[in-house]
Chains A and B, each alone.
Chain A
Amino acid sequence: MIAPSFRRCGLLLGVLALVLPLTAAAQSLPGIGRIKVATGRVSLIRSGQTVVPVVGDVVYESDVLHTDADGQLAVTLRDETRLSLGPGSDLNLAAFAYDPAAGRLSLVVRVARGILSYVSGRIAKLMPDAVRLETPTSVIGVRGTHALIRVQP
C-alpha cells in the first residue's frame, strides 16, 4: 500500500519535525481560499492585475473580487469561512491569518458595494474579535454565524 519512497519521505519529515517547532511542521498553503462559484461577468484584482476567476482558482490576501450586474462569486476560505457575492459587488479580502497554534487569527473583509453573505468559520469560533466586516459606513463585529449585508454607496 505504501511505497518505500514514501516511508523514506515520512522518515525525513519526521526528522524535520524533531528539529522544527510544531507550527513549522505544517505545510502552509499558498493561498487563503478557493473560488467555489463564478458565474456571469466577474473579475479579480490582484496587485493591480485584473484576471477572470474561475471555479477552483486560489485566492490570496488583499485580492479584490468584483461582480458585474450579471455576476456572482462565492469563496471558501482556509478557516472554513464562506463568502458569497451577489451582482454589482466589490469585496476586498483585506486581511487573513489562520495559524491557531501561534495564536495568529485575523479576518477583515471590506465590501465597497453590493450584496454579501458571510458564514463564519474557525477564526470567528476561536477568536470572535479577530473578525471584522467593513462597509464604507459601518463596521460589523461577528458573534456568529451568518450575516447578510447590502451596501448601497
Chain B
Amino acid sequence: MGHTVLLVDDDANLLAGLRRALRNEPYELVTALSAEDALKILHARDVDVVISDENLPGITGTHFLKRVRESFADAVRFMLTGAATLDVAIDAINEAGVSHFFTKPCQTTDMAMAIRMALKQKDLIVAAKQLLFQLRRHEAMMQRLEKQHPGITQFEEDADGAIVIGEPPSDYDELMREIKKHLGG
C-alpha cells in the first residue's frame, strides 16, 4: 500500500522545487498552497506525513498542524520554515507535536531521509499493531482449545529446554482439522 506525503507552503515555486527534489521517493507527493486546501485534502484521503510552512495566509503553520494533530492523529507532522525562531520551534513541538523541525534552506536529502524514517516507523507501528492483533486472536484460540481439550496447550521441556513430544493423541487428525479451522485456513 502506497504512502502519501502532503506539503503545505504558500509559495508555488517552493512546492515545485520540492516536488522535483523528491520525485523519485517511494510515496505520492501532494501539495497545497494554504491550510484550507490542505485540510480539504486530509479529509479526502489518507495522508501519512504533513509538512507545513509556518507562514501561511491567515493562519500559522503551528496552528494548522495543531488542528491536524487533533483531527488526523496518525499523520506524522513536520515543520519547514524560513522564520525559524525559538518561539516558533517551541510552539511547534509542544502544541503541534511535530517530530521534525526543518529550517529553510534545508538539505532536501535530509528531509527525504526523515520522511522515509517516519514512514518506516509508521509502517512498523502498523505492523506491530497487526501482530498484536494476531497474537490476541491466537491467545483466544488457545483458550478455546484448552477448554475443549484440557491439557492440549501444555508441554514439557527436557533438561536442554527441548520440547518433549510424546505419542500423538488418538484423535490427532481431528484435532489438526480443528486447528486449521481456527486459524482461518
A, B bound: no
